[in-house]
Amino acid sequence: MTLTINEVARCLNLPINTIERWVRQGRIPIQKTADGYIYKKSVLKKWAADHNLNFSLPEKGGQKEPESRLENLLPVMARGGVFHNIPGNDVKTVLKAAVENMSCLSQDDRKELYERLLEREELTSTGIGKGVAMPHPRSPLSVPPKEPLITTCFLENPVEFYAVDDKPVFVMFILVSTSTKMHLHLLSRLAFCVRDSSFVDFLKTSPNSDDLLSKIADFEKKLD
């Protein structure tokens, strides 16, 4: 079958630039041609299942099916992006710098998210230990995003986050969800990864986006 890059991205619920990068790297069973992107349905469907991704053909007329299922970490983290060398010397400044990188949200949404993240930190720290924090608003934003996202931020310098183990934070996973149910689902899956010391050691190397997503895919196989 032949699809456009937009249709392929919708089939897998992933950002277009991620699909394009994986095609260039030969990491996905799709071939780019002058007429579009060619793939074999059974092969791509099996590949998606092996990587904990959902695969479904787009509906006729270009209408996307409303989000109702619980997503795995891989597409959500790919959507949120990975950023390095986030500056700041305290919780407020690193959160501010991190949120400003989230171009997938409007300026108004970023402003609201920052304020809501600060409110959450004042309630209790989202530093879960081992140098990891999972900042998130207590409830969905006033206008929730159409799809959930997790933005990974490696800090320029470790910051005191008042974590449960008093260790400074070197990486933040900022979670913005579409519903409370989705939020709890993603938080649980991410916490499973962080409980593994080998995963935290891997995070300390400040991996690039491809390596991080590959590691997440490996961990999600254990969950499923």
The pTM of this model reads: 0.72
Of 49-53, 195-199, 213-217, give the lowest mean pLDDT range: 49-53
pLDDT of residue 160: 96
87 and 192 in a single domain? The answer is yes
Domain assignment present for 67: no
100 and 188 share a domain? yes
CB 10 within 8 A of CB 64: yes
pLDDT tens-place string over residues 53-108: 777 765 544 444 344 477 889 999 999 999 999 999 999 999 999 999 998 888 98
Q: Is 107 left (phi over 0), alpha (psi -120 to 50) or beta?
A: alpha
122/168 same-domain check: yes
Give the pLDDT score at 66: 40
Name the average pLDDT for the chain. Answer: 86
pLDDT of residue 35: 62
Task: Round to whole Å and give the CA distance between 173 and 126.
Answer: 10
Q: Is the predicted pLDDT of residue 183 greater than 90, yes or no?
A: no
Q: Does one domain contain both 13 and 94?
A: no
In a domain, 218, yes or no: yes
Question: Does residue 20 lie within any of the structural domains?
Answer: yes
What was the pLDDT predicted at 62? 44
pLDDT digits (tens, 9 = 90+) for 132-180: 999 998 777 888 788 899 999 999 999 999 998 999 999 999 999 988 8
Q: What is the CATH number of the domain that holds 43?
A: 1.10.10
Residue 66 lies in a domain: no
Residue 6 to residue 62: CA distance in whole angstroms: 10
The CATH code of the domain that includes 198 is 3.40.930.10
- Give the pLDDT of residue 65: 39
| pLDDT for the residue numbered 129 | 93
In a shared domain, residues 55 and 84: no
pLDDT value, residue 222? 83
pLDDT (0 to 100) of residue 224: 67
Domain that holds residue 163: 73-223
